[in-house]
Amino acid sequence: MVGGGVAGLVAAHDLAARGLRVTLVEAEDHLGGAVGAHQVAGLVMDSGAESFATRSRAVPDLLEELGLGDRVVQPRRGGSWLFLPEGAVPAPDSGILGIPADPTAPRLRAAIGRAGVVRAGLDRRLPAFVGMTERSLGGLVRVRMGERVLERLVAPFTTGVHSAHPDDLDVDAVAPGLRRALREHGSLGAAAGALRRAAPAGANVAGLRGGMNALSEGLVRELERAGVKLVTDYDVIALDRDPRREGWMVIQRQPRRGEKTAVARGELLVVATDGATAVRLLAGHRHELQRFTPEPGPQVALATLVVDEPRLDGAPRGTGLLVSEDARAVRAKALTHATAKWDWLREAAGPGRHVLRLSYGRAQPDASAVPPEVALPDEQLIRLALSDASTLIGVPLRPAQLAGADIVRWRSALPRAGVGHARRVAEFRRALAQLPDAVAVGGWLAGTGLASVVADTRSQVRALLAEAGVPEAAAPPGSGPARTDIDPTRRKD
């Protein structure tokens, strides 16, 4: 197994549960990838993902298996806001991805104006087939509800969550089931409302007490218990065929302690890295995989500020704001008022102390360019974040009120599900099937988000095991055939 983000950890968990001996190799010195923790002003909280979509049972079922089911919590229902060129307005919250379920809702008027409301209302009168051939989310929303809904409601959402404009996102990848619901319900608003209602208790997302990092922690604990060999701080640089027997050899580099390589061997291979790395590692064995090298995803930076300001106790902007690209007063693309969103964090912080999480890094015309805010040194980005937070929340915040701050930068952690994503993934997997003892998993294939990553990883691992003829019945972890092992002899590069 290569890669120890959530996809890799889940794959290792499912392989071990079927009685296989598993070795997992991770480049960083910690496991969990984009689902991790950091400590700011004494508060331990998520450094990346902080919630999961409740549209499917994928994550809740996994959490139950890990004994974490009782830690699932709902965000507070304070509502969220939009920051538009003219200022902050409450966001319509009845649909999904910013698509309003009810185009006549009073909140909508403040966000898109009367003309926008009239145009959005047309959605209800258009025949269901209008827009069905649109492959991008942007194309579908534009044709059904018009430009104002697209640019003022949906674009801030997708820029905040996927770091991409809706025109650059595959509708089936980012909104699975939306086009089917449109066919069934006759309008895009009704479809968005139906998908929203399908989520338990009407909430789109849920989290974990203590943060989503508890998921990575729970998986690692379970892997250790099952005897999975976890090798961190080893950068996998190549995959070779094992000349001594059928199977794979993993060639690693240990970056921090000199240029050493080590070899892990196994009969089955799971590659759970980012897309560019996965293609690079696998293309040596199937050259045609080369053409699936994904475009680099946007680089993002998260600025976490812990501030002492009692006026934030009333959560003046609900759980946070998404920022329209046209709003020039700030450079952040989203702000989460984390202590207003999660009760456990508010209790941990105490009265008057607040956690604000601002994200930076809008998609650049040149996909490989670093967004200017992400390129700023930490100190400057923290100053910018404090000033942006003051504007967004509407309460002036001074440096003296800062109890702590941290910047976390993510590269290649938010792959883009561009138009035609599902077809490209299917083609990639058909080509990879020529290597029947290998699979690739992760957000670059499944689509960004834990619900997609967990569901897809588990189904890929099931298919790999079926192909390899591993019996269905669960055996006690570690008791099965020795499918993988690690060679203790390490040679110099």
Binding site for ligand FAD (CB under 6 A): 2-8, 25-28, 33-35, 48-53, 235-236, 272-274, 277, 300, 302, 410, 413-414, 442-443, 448-450, 453
User: For residues 254 and 324, which CB has a smaller minimum distance to ligand FAD in the complex?
Assistant: 254
Name the β-bridge partners of 356: 305, 337
Q: What is the DSSP letter of 362?
A: P
Please, how many CA atoms are within 13 Å of residue 118, restricted to the half-sphere of its CB? 3
**Interatomic CA distance for residues 297 and 380, integer angstroms:** 24
Residue 389 in contact with residue 397, Cβ under 8 Å?
Answer: yes
Minimum CB distance to ligand FAD, residue 480 (Å): 24
Q: Retrieve residue 127's tokens.
A: 């025949």
User: For residues 76 and 109, which CB has a smaller minimum distance to ligand FAD in the complex?
Assistant: 76
Query: Hey, what amino acid is at 354?
Result: H
Strands 235-241 and 81-84: unpaired
Minimum CB distance to ligand FAD, residue 35 (Å): 5
Residue 234 in contact with residue 25, Cβ under 8 Å?
Answer: yes
Minimum CB distance to ligand FAD, residue 215 (Å): 9
User: For residues 148 and 196, which CB has a smaller minimum distance to ligand FAD in the complex?
Assistant: 196
User: For residues 150 and 302, which CB has a smaller minimum distance to ligand FAD in the complex?
Assistant: 302
Minimum CB distance to ligand FAD, residue 252 (Å): 7
Minimum CB distance to ligand FAD, residue 119 (Å): 31
Residue 404 in contact with residue 41, Cβ under 8 Å?
Answer: yes
User: For residues 8 and 103, which CB has a smaller minimum distance to ligand FAD in the complex?
Assistant: 8
Minimum CB distance to ligand FAD, residue 302 (Å): 5
3-class DSSP state of 71: helix
User: For residues 2 and 303, which CB has a smaller minimum distance to ligand FAD in the complex?
Assistant: 2
Separation in Å, CA 342 to CA 45, 59, 66, 102: 11, 18, 22, 27
- Find the helix or strand (DSSP H, E) in which 264 lies: strand 260-266
